[in-house]
Amino acid sequence: MKQARIDTGDDIETGRYEDETVVTETGRFEVGVDGALRAPCDPGTVYCVGRNYAATLDQMDYERPDQPDWFIKPAVAAHDPGAPIEYPAQTDELTYAGELAAVIGHECAALDSEAAVRDAVRGWTIMNDLDALDQPGRTARKAFDGSAPLGPVVETDLDPRALKMTTHVGGELRQEATTERMLFDPFEVLTFLSERYTFRPGDVVAFGSPANPGLVEPGETVDIWYEGIGTLHNTVVESGE
């Protein structure tokens, strides 16, 4: 089942998503008519795994990690599907990266089996891991306001280990892969991180980018598609627009 959050102007409603409509306990809301989609969760923390595809390691000349390599984005990094991405004033090199992500359903830690992970995960969504590439250090590069567009929905019934994906920028195919190429699959990553952190409801865990993350310029659209979930669409605009 697909779930989404829609801003009706009076409230943010959460419900079942079908055919551009969000069905909630209070009614049916048509996307674009009754309101706009919001990020499908409200994370306190966004946990991001890097260097998780062999092809990306080869492209970027990174060493292969012997355990998941991760960093954290703050809550203010979350950004809505469809909403313009404001090009950060501090950078001249903004990059995209189309990533699969898990949304945590309830507070949990020390997940010790695939069954425990499945119970902890509300579902699966898409994240664009924006990176101000010319900034010093991972936090400055990746942990700014709006650096984690999410959505458009959470799919609750999905095996994340062999999903096809593509990323188009300005209509041009930039990324094409499957999640079976991950070095550490989502269940391994979630188990590993849960040994170090207590996950809270709504937290997001992203599993890294396939090969060919790259630069994006103002005026370009980024469309990230994952099989079984849908397409995360955002357009980059000049700062202050």
Q: Are residues 47 and 99 in the same domain?
A: yes
**Cis peptide upstream of residue 152 (ω within 30 degrees of 0):** yes
| Domain assignment of residue 78, given as a range | 41-237
Instruction: Give the containing element (helix H, strand E) for 194.
Output: helix 186-194
Q: Is there a contact between 120 and 111 (Cβ–Cβ < 8 Å)?
A: yes
Q: How far apart are CA 2 and CA 36, in angstroms?
A: 16
Q: What domain count does the chain have? A: 2
Q: Are residues 62 and 136 in the same domain?
A: yes
Q: Are residues 48 and 165 in the same domain?
A: yes
- The single residue listed with the structure tokens 């994370």 is 43
What does the pLDDT read at residue 54? Answer: 78
Q: Are residues 223 and 106 in the same domain?
A: yes
Q: Are residues 113 and 1 in the same domain?
A: no
pLDDT (tens digit, 9 = 90+) per residue, 161-208?
A: 999 999 999 999 999 999 999 999 999 999 999 999 999 999 999 999
Q: Are residues 50 and 73 in the same domain?
A: yes
pLDDT confidence bin for 33, thresholds 50/70/90? very high
pLDDT confidence bin for 240, thresholds 50/70/90? confident
pLDDT confidence bin for 57, thresholds 50/70/90? low
Q: Are residues 121 and 217 in the same domain?
A: yes
Where b means 16+ CB within 10 Å and e means fewer, 73-92 reads: bbeebbbbbbbebbbbeebe
Q: What is the mean pLDDT of the chain?
A: 95
Task: Give the domain CATH number at 192.
Answer: 3.90.850.10
Output the pTM of the full model.
0.95
Provide the CA 77 distance to its chain's centre, in angstroms. Answer: 11
Provide the CA 158 distance to its chain's centre, in angstroms. Answer: 16
What does the pLDDT read at residue 241? Answer: 65
| pLDDT higher than threshold 70 for residue 62 | no
| pLDDT higher than threshold 90 for residue 63 | no
Q: Are residues 34 and 71 in the same domain?
A: no
Q: How far apart are CA 38 and CA 6, in angstroms?
A: 6
Strands (E), the chain: 2-7, 12-18, 21-24, 27-30, 36-38, 45-50, 69-74, 78-79, 85-86, 94-96, 98-104, 121-128, 131-132, 148-155, 164-169, 172-178, 204-206, 214-215, 221-226, 230-237
Tokens for 77? 């990094």
Q: Are residues 100 and 214 in the same domain?
A: yes
Q: Are residues 109 and 139 in the same domain?
A: yes
In the 8-state DSSP scheme, what is residue 105?
Answer: -
What does the pLDDT read at residue 157? Answer: 97
pLDDT (tens digit, 9 = 90+) per residue, 90-139?
A: 999 999 999 999 999 999 999 999 999 999 999 999 999 999 999 999 99
Q: Say how many C-beta atoms besides its own lie within 10 A of residue 196's C-beta.
A: 10
What does the pLDDT read at residue 239? Answer: 84
Strands 221-226 and 164-169: antiparallel
